[in-house]
Chains A and B, each alone.
Chain A
């Protein structure tokens, strides 16, 4: 039977917020006096849950706490969670670039961590020299690299440039070569952090293919990504982190469902106090709300209802073309569409304005979506504010009987469009 290759017990990592300065030396001293008296570290008892949006009372937070899980050989584990949930911290600890504050973990086999591609690439060295150097940094021996060298060059597709310094490479070639080295690592466990977010579409596909190939030959992969689609495709197991704690672990579909559910927030309006309004000297945003056709705030719509996004903003200078842009993303982070107002609606006078973007109805499939709102000026182009994931709305089916949460029952696809079908028989 397959055996456990990674076992994590009560892992925790505490960080101190703020700058290194006089208070840290005082804390260090306290810690030391407790240690020589044989007492427990006084700062381990304090520390709060890591929620970055809330103001805390303590300088110490637990980026990770009470993490327990184990991975069997050949499993591809996806680690998901919102920004700041502790995903990268967990990977850093498992790849030994930093040590845990409490708890322990055990690993069987060689570990290669790809928290970044091209670690240690030296711009002045040629591609060939860098392949060897990078491979060695990632833990390969020279003979192993030599053995795989041709395959690496072949996979990267930069054969022609292999004896040119990598500083002359295009960024794409650089990444290709770097990933190729990583793809041929001979270690049993791979730790991968969103390296797939680079390169062109074709190469991304190649990388994903390589990754699933790697897991088929019995290697264990730990994979962190924001792209739920990539995770769904690659992984068979998953863990979900929420504010540094393990929320759920197990089958990947189950974990993703849970993640999607928690990411939903029933909020139809975001407002900012005068002092905290996002923006710059050109303009500031007052509020964003999701409204229905009667201009009432709402965030759950039926398929037949019209969704509107209302943006209130203030232009602070005259003769400035402030253009508002609204974009809709699927819950897996994919951009579905974006929209700008037509030219006549772009305000140029100082003062408070409010603008509504109406989406065409009967378009978006039954699911939930997130909105991004940004504003910029023209000539010169200048981003005034950019609010990613500012609000969310849900499209539900209009049959009142059930709200379809199980997306396997609904028609697939981002859009739900009534197409005209025509049948001709003769």
Chain B
């Protein structure tokens, strides 16, 4: 008998459901870092305003919302309209961009994935991290606007006790979008039908996520259904922490966390199953 060899890689057609190798992703941390750097630096190459575009987009969106929804006299929960829409915009943009970009992980990177192996999860992770960086920069804008209204005497109270929870909500939103994104990207490799679904689903989801109007506008069952959406409950909680206006409900937040974790694990399994042979069907 030959002595037993210690193989580094054994590849079989089917591995167990939970053979998700997060440690392998960790060995590729340099790649994640470089991809994030690429995402951030390459976007604004050959532009004159450069990263300023990160501010221009939310400013304009906020102005338009303030104008149109202001005309319609929609409630903003007592928060100054401009600030209300800017908060919504900033966090919603982060969520929707993470979702949009991670949902095309397989189709957009097919050329690279078809030639080189590395843990496929590296790609969606890097998307989330680069969007985190972008969010961090946009939070600067939010801070400036916030300080303006805060010191000009609007009726706002920062909930200092909860302030440290904001990063937690940012992570929660990131994981939630990552889970949805990789789930959709796995589903779209073979049957492209889901691409069309996601396209308008994101648009519609915005109206169910308390971005342009507060949850308090809805009463009773509608309100409850609305708050089951982790994006809505997170956004409401963030608004509450920053201004004292909004719904901060532990029930919904806990529910959101559980939903996110379950969805995350489920998506990982689907993603893991898909990544092995998606090249044949993409």
A residues near B, CB below 8 A? 3-4, 7, 15, 20, 24-25, 92-93, 95-111, 113, 115-116, 119-120, 122, 124-125, 129, 132-133, 136-142, 165
Contact = CB atoms under 8 A, between A and B. Distances in A.
Contacts of A15: 280
Interface of B: 5-13, 28, 30-31, 33-35, 37-38, 41-42, 45-46, 111-118, 190-191, 276-277, 279-281
A424 to B, nearest CB: 61
A96 B11 contact: yes
Nearest to A133: B34
Contact of A97 (B5, B42, B113): B113
A97 B278 CA distance: 9
Contacts of A129: 37-38, 41
Given A20-B191, A133-B34, A104 B10 contact: yes
A105 B13 CA distance: 10
Contacts of B113: 97
B117 A116 contact: no
Contact of A24 (B6, B11, B13, B190): B190
Contacts of B10: 104-107
A133 B279 contact: no
Contacts of A24: 190
Given A20-B281, A132-B34, A124 B115 contact: no
Contacts of A138: 116
Given A133-B34, A136-B30, 15 more contacts: A20-B281, A95-B115, A96-B11, A99-B11, A99-B277, A101-B13, A103-B13, A104-B11, A105-B11, A107-B7, A107-B9, A113-B115, A115-B115, A119-B112, A129-B37
A95 B118 CA distance: 10
A142 B191 CA distance: 37
Residue of A95, A137, A142 contacting most chain B CB atoms (<10 Å): A137
Contact of A108 (B6, B28, B42, B118): B6
Nearest to B27: A141
A25 B279 contact: no
Contact of B115 (A116, A122, A125, A140): A116
B118 A139 contact: yes
A165 B191 contact: no
Contacts of A137: 31, 112, 116, 118
B11 A100 contact: yes
Contacts of A110: 8
